[in-house]
A = this chain, B = another copy of it.
Amino acid sequence: MKGVRKTKDLLYEQVARIGKVFSSPKRLELIELLCQGEKTVDTLAREASISVKLASAHLRELRVASLVETERQGKNIRYRLAGKAVADLWVKIHNLAEDRLVELQLALQKIAVQPDSLVPSDRSSLLKAARKGDVVVLDVRPAEEYLNAHLPFARSIPLTELRQRLDELPKDRSIVAYCRGPYCLMAIDAVELLRKEGFKSAHLRDGVAEWELTEIR
């Protein structure tokens, strides 16, 4: 009977190793970034606004839990998620957080932009409208991330270039902007800019990982 306890403790301890990875805000941010495609340590550090050293330490945690893989490419070391299941779990966790934590709901409400009632908000009609060309789905992430994966029918104009490339967008149709997910504020910025410039624009909370997960069920 004593041995059973020890065995069980060992098993739960192993699972807790995975949970631990998802227990630090900075690691979560790194995971979200890695959901957009493989990246170098230095890029990850910059995007997450932390030092390279700290990023390296957190990435090490991800590595010992086998949630990421590394590959040397010249001077740089590129990190990537060790499978789609990792991205899925990130989405599952933040979905549960949004479902259960009032504080998170309030914080998200605070930064949300006014929804546009003319733009379809449910997935299938948005897809339909995008296919027909009634709305432009706009990916405002860095071009690399768009190239790695993007929503169906999406066009890429990184947020940094948006102001200069406004002439590529139509004024007579709605522009639905998305970025890395609900905690990446680039799409919100994009919508605010577009509206200020007289475009019809709406915000899509989902990033590629969120989209792909909810598409299945």
Interface residues of A (CB under 8 A from B): 4-5, 7-26, 28-29, 49, 65-67, 82-83, 85-86, 88-89, 92-97, 99-104, 107-108, 111, 182-185, 216-217
Contacts and interface: CB of A to CB of B under 8 A. Distances in A.
Given A12-B29, A65-B101, A89-B96, 9 more contacts: A12-B26, A14-B101, A15-B28, A15-B104, A16-B25, A19-B23, A65-B100, A86-B96, A216-B217
A101 B18 contact: yes
In the complex, the count of this chain's copies comes to 2
A46 to B, nearest CB: 12
8 contacts: A8-B183, A14-B107, A15-B25, A15-B93, A15-B104, A16-B23, A82-B100, A85-B100
Contact of A28 (B19, B86, B184): B19
B25 A9 contact: yes
A92 B22 CA distance: 13
A15 B94 contact: yes
Contacts of A26: 12
Contact of A99 (B10, B83, B96, B100): B83
A20 B18 contact: no
Contacts of A216: 217
A88 B70 CA distance: 30
A28 to B, nearest CB: 5
A28 B20 CA distance: 11
Contact of A18 (B18, B83, B100, B185): B100
Q: Which of A22, A25, A93, A96 has the most CB of B within 10 A?
A: A96
A83 to B, nearest CB: 7
